[in-house]
Amino acid sequence: MITRLLYAILFLLPCLLQTSCGTSEEPTKMEDRVMDGANLLTTDEETRLFWIVQELERKVGSQLAIVTLDSLNGVAIEKYSLNKLNEMSLGRDQYYDGVLITVALRNKEMRIEVGWGLERILTNEKAERINLKLMAPRFREKKFYEGLRAAAGAITLLIEENKDRIRKRR
């Protein structure tokens, strides 16, 4: 009896000291959400974009990531973005509410890939409008940070204002 009690205390004590037993999540790191493979951003700009990403996750729970790469190496941006969104496991499990902004510098392509749970909020038309009206004009002027900041800000605002429309997985 005493052995079981000691075992229970030794097993449960670490769990009680954590916020949630067995599910202690590590904090999100900048390199997990802002990946500048094309070297378009300064460290300070990456940090500022990461702050936008963190705020969305803190306020709503939805997850946003930004990936820039030099080249797609023959892969269609749609395929690359969808694979990357899934590989990164963006979005909460019960909602699948992740968003990925992908920029391929040499290919001169960009895409906003939207998880299923956000499709009613961030439609293909809205994503395309963000690409054409917010990112593309700034990218043409080589103002990559400004374009990404505008896109991330618009996406965040759309999600925050419509968080009650995020679809839950059945």
Residue-wise pLDDT for 25-75, tens only, equals: 455 666 789 999 999 999 999 999 999 999 999 999 999 999 999 999 999
Helix axes 144-161, 43-59, angle to 10 degrees: 0
Give whole-number Cα distances, 138 to 20, 63, 113, 134, in Å: 44, 24, 20, 7
- Answer for the pair 108, 144: CB distance below 8 angstroms, yes or no: no
pLDDT at position 170: 72
Instruction: List pLDDT tens digits, range 136-169.
Output: 999 999 999 999 999 999 999 999 999 999 998 8
Q: 131: helix, coil or strand?
A: helix
- pLDDT surpassing 70 at residue 19: no
Instruction: List pLDDT tens digits, range 94-136.
Output: 999 999 999 999 999 999 999 999 999 999 999 999 999 999 9
pLDDT at position 31: 78
pLDDT at position 54: 96
- Answer for the pair 168, 117: CB distance below 8 angstroms, yes or no: yes
pLDDT at position 59: 96
Element (H, E) at 145: helix 144-161
CATH of domain 29-165: 3.10.310.50
Q: 57: helix, coil or strand?
A: helix
- Answer for the pair 89, 107: CB distance below 8 angstroms, yes or no: no
Per domain, the residue ranges of the chain are 29-165
User: 170 vs 105, which has greater pLDDT?
Assistant: 105
Beta bridge partners of 64: 99
